[in-house]
Structure 1
């Protein structure tokens, strides 16, 4: 089977070409000389790991971003897209994975929002809008009134309303970013029928998904991105799952050195059938069970929407509606508030440090001590010598590059900000450290420092459970690896036995496979 882009392009059927596009952001190059073709009347699959550059490429095609260099060619002529509105005028539409609906407006109002049909350019022609939306709903096999408020719909139907918005724009090129992430099996079948109908009318579909079995079923062409570069382009009929995985992760599986010299201790965290219901039905976290031992690093690998962050939030007690059992060092935590769980010894380093962890107007030191002020108190006041001593200690232990801990935390680089968040967590003297994408948005040097700290903490007996979408990271750091997909744990590996191919394949388990797992569990129970 061929690896590359050999002889798959017939220029007669190419509607859009991306030619040698590079996109540079401050400190990073997201796309490097990318050339990508979109075939007319076909499903053009784009696949790659998180961070491979897919979203950047789609934003450029949809006009939301402009390339640093390179060009777009539509129908044989170069075009420049200043914004998304201009892309729409050229017939390029996009359905984002994240819903962009107004829940307090009706379906019809959402579909035509910003493009309202009018009478005499003054009054909105609501009746005509309803008629057109009713036809779109029938096309999507949705038995709904155009006047139904979006907030009354389950998440799967809301996803189909997003697709209805794109269909209403009569796009010649339609980009679908993870369109089945919130759909049931029946809704997926409806979507696939709609896509087949669009193809029959000459529409080019750009289809992004992590579900490999889904891609092989629906795709006509496949293009793989890795680290901002195209690694493969082929007709779908000529590839299989193994080819896709090889192009995504590379041919070589690197042998990562792992920490040695200590044995894992007793079980420090037990999670039993932990579930978080999803609005409209189903689960964000679907009956997850796992264990973590003292001195052990367990990595959770999963892609966007797998349920990793929600699992951590449930363990910390962020969702009162969560069901299941969490036991920390032999003590049940169910029903306890977040502060109580932190006091018992579990703490979280969130994925988005700027939004969920740091207070930019406070100093570096104040951000570090924020969660452990009680241990620094002397009566009603903070003991300044004790505070300074602890801050200085952790600045040294975590190798922070800090001119003065009294400066605002916003003055630090991303890597040093992450170290501040880690220091805050460690000051609570945890037994279990939950780390959600610990190396997100930091440079190579800071990443190496944080990995070193994680290893040292595990040697000292701390249990670490971390989530990542980076294959090399999960293999480099983990003693055990869990894979999550669609809210469930779909595989577990001892790190020494894990391969990149097996991990990626397990993360691509679709909803139907997850449902099958659920049914099997029910039978066993």
Structure 2
């Protein structure tokens, strides 16, 4: 459930003119393995078209072909009815096709104006840039998006939504008529998402064709006109969003019903593994609760409510000002470092896996090894065979899709990167596993695998404490749910029978009113 209600009016009909972008029977193989098998995609001018599929379905490969990063083995890319071939990304830009990825290519150390016109011919003479003209041109692009961002400000000082707007303005500066957006709202709040949606609708009204890649299906149904679903490198279906449902989309993407996403509950015990008493942090205020062996304890609340900070306090990644944390009856010292807390049996899988959970340039086995030095070494000597063994078991248990344990983590899909983070921590056999947004940015098929793993961990006796912004996920994966509001626990409910309205009332601090209404 999102805070936005209803589905705004979308484009009345798809344009009868030539498609802004077509991919026709695209085939691509890597080392003899087919990544794309006759893929077709057609996007009209003035249309927001969702491109959906599990990680590994072929979406990224298709986008890289459309934008000139890869050449297809066969098939054809067409722009306004004409066959085109791009030697590189710049050639695609010149044809009006620009892709913006989840990890935006913003240069943090230069100004907003310079970022907007990055890579373009800058105004000036004799090698000297005309700063006034530069800012005027950048301002024109930002005004198209209804944005008033200081042009002299360093891009690194902008909020996530402002950085997204600067990236979109840069695309418009190249006269983009086909804009491809890959998970553009992954790190944004509900308010910021509405702002992005308003901009995308205005661009659609200008005739820009937008390809929207997202794992958030509620957003797709709120924003998009049509959708194309890919599976195993093939195009499965293209249809109007108004003619389908979220459950149908999930079934088509993964080949099974949406109801099978969440495993059955029932592993919680009464054995207390972790106790937090009167915890105080920068935002967290007087938080007390217990977690039990075999339990999945979900934690919800609005952005800024203190959910993530609470996990950092429990993991030793942030020191709490007062209060106590006890693990298996043994109290932790208030300023225990992360390593000491890990040794006590508490492991954290952070929300920002790419910057905090893994080293993208290192291999799978090296990432797993770094979190398990004590297990893989003896008398100062590291055992290569032990590293390989742990990595191999982790890849098998979590079904990590990779060429080998030596493949760099940065080459894996988002879902498989998340599994590497899990493999690192699970090799330590934690008593308490803390997970911050465990399925953010991954497809529904991989989500189902993560939910299964979480339940298997609980079944083995681990206490899992998981933060999620998605209310259906909180209800589906948890045994018990705590909702935070302004740093405190506003309510506690059993997940079985919980409803989204009740959880939202706690999240907004309106639990008393809700109870009176009942």
Please, what TM-score do these two structures have when normalized by structure 2?
0.66
Q: Which residue among 361, 366, 373 is the counterpart of 1:370? A: 373
* Equivalent-residue separation in structure 2 for 1:16 and 1:393 (angstroms): 45
Structure 1 position 338, deviation (Å) = 0.8
Q: 1 CA distance for matches of 2:329 and 2:181?
A: 46
State yes or no: 1:88 paired with 2:56.
Answer: no
CA spacing shift, 1:397–1:108, aligned 2, 3 Å: closer
Distance 1:185 1:191 in 2: 10
1:470 aligned partner = 447
Q: Distance in 1 between matches of 2:314 and 2:473?
A: 19
Give runs of aligned pairs for residues 52-451 of structure 1, distance below 5 A.
Answer: 52-120=57-125, 122-252=127-257, 264=269, 266-269=271-274, 293-294=292-293, 315-319=314-318, 327-331=326-330, 333=332, 335-347=335-347, 355=359, 370-371=373-374, 430-432=430-432
**Cα displacement (A) at 1:88:** 0.1
For residue 72 of structure 1, report the CA deviation from its aligned partner. 1.2
What are the superposed Cα offsets for residues 204-226 of structure 1, whole Å, 9 maximum, x if unpaired? Answer: 11122333333223212111233
* Cα 1:28–1:437 shift into 2, 3 Å: farther
Alpha-carbon distance, 1:434 to partner:
6.2
Q: Distance in 2 between matches of 1:58 and 1:161?
A: 21
Q: Which residue of 2 aligns with 1:519?
A: 508
Contact 1:42–1:199, Cα closer than 8 Å, also in 2 = yes
Partners of 2:76 and 2:95 in 1: how far apart? 15
For the structure 1 residues 251 and 266, does the alpha-carbon distance in structure 2 shift closer, same or farther, using more than 3 Å as the test? same
Conserved? CA contact 1:30–1:227, under 8 Å: yes
CA distance in structure 2 between the aligned counterparts of 1:149 and 1:104, rounded to whole angstroms: 6
Counterparts of 1:363 and 1:482, CA distance in 2: 23
Secondary structure of 2:72's partner? coil
Question: What is the distance in 1 between the residues matched to 2:124 and 2:329?
Answer: 69
The residue number in structure 2 matching 1:37 is 42
Tell me if structure 1 keeps the 8 A contact 2:298–2:478: no
Partner Cα separation in structure 2 for residue 347 and residue 335 of structure 1:
16
Q: CA deviation at 1:169?
A: 1.4
Rounded Cα–Cα distance in structure 2 between residues aligned with 1:287 and 1:205: 46
Give the gaps of 5 or more residues in structure 1. 1-7, 278-282, 301-306, 402-408, 440-466, 497-505, 507-511
Q: Is the 8 A contact 1:63 1:83 kept in 2?
A: yes
Query: What is the CA-CA distance between 1:101 and the residue it aligns to?
Result: 1.4
Q: Distance in 2 between matches of 1:323 and 1:28?
A: 56
Distance 1:322 1:52 in 2: 47
Inter-partner Cα distance in structure 2 for 1:168 and 1:252:
43
Q: CA deviation at 1:199?
A: 2.5
TM-score for both structures, normalised by structure 1? 0.65
Paired residues, number:
448
Q: Could you tell me whether the CA contact under 8 Å between 2:275 and 2:289 is conserved in 1?
A: yes
- Once residues 413 and 106 of structure 1 are traced to their aligned partners in structure 2, the CA distance between those partners, rounded to angstroms, is 33
- Matched residue, 2:488: none
Q: Specify the SS of the correspondent of 1:12.
A: coil
Bigger shift: 172-181 or 420-429?
Answer: 420-429
| Secondary structure in structure 1 of the residue aligned to 2:175 | coil
Contact preservation (8 Å) 2:277, 2:287: yes
- 1:26 CA displacement: 4.7
User: Corresponding residue for 1:491?
Assistant: 474
Is the CA contact 1:394–1:423 (under 8 Å) kept in the aligned structure 2?
no
Q: Is the 8 A contact 1:17 1:35 kept in 2?
A: yes
- Cα deviation 1:218-272 (Å, max 9, x = unaligned): 2121112334333321122322333333323334469799899998561324579
Distance 1:206 1:339, change over 3 A: same
The C-alpha deviation readout for 1:368-391, integer Å capped at 9, x for no partner, is 9623589x5xxxx55x8xx98x95
Residue 48 of structure 1, CA deviation: 3.0
Mark the CA change 1:186 to 1:23 in structure 2 (over 3 Å): closer, same or farther.
same
Change (3 A) 1:263 1:176: closer
d(CA) in 1 for partners of 2:158 and 2:320? 20
SS at match of 2:68: coil
CA deviation after TM superposition for structure 1 residue 92, in Å: 0.3
* Aligned mates of 1:325, 1:489 — CA distance in 2: 31
SS of the counterpart of 2:508?
A: helix
Check whether the contact 2:345–2:429 (CA below 8 A) recurs between aligned residues.
yes
Pairwise CA RMSD: 5.6
C-alpha spacing 1:104/1:273, structure 2 compared with 1 (3 Å): farther
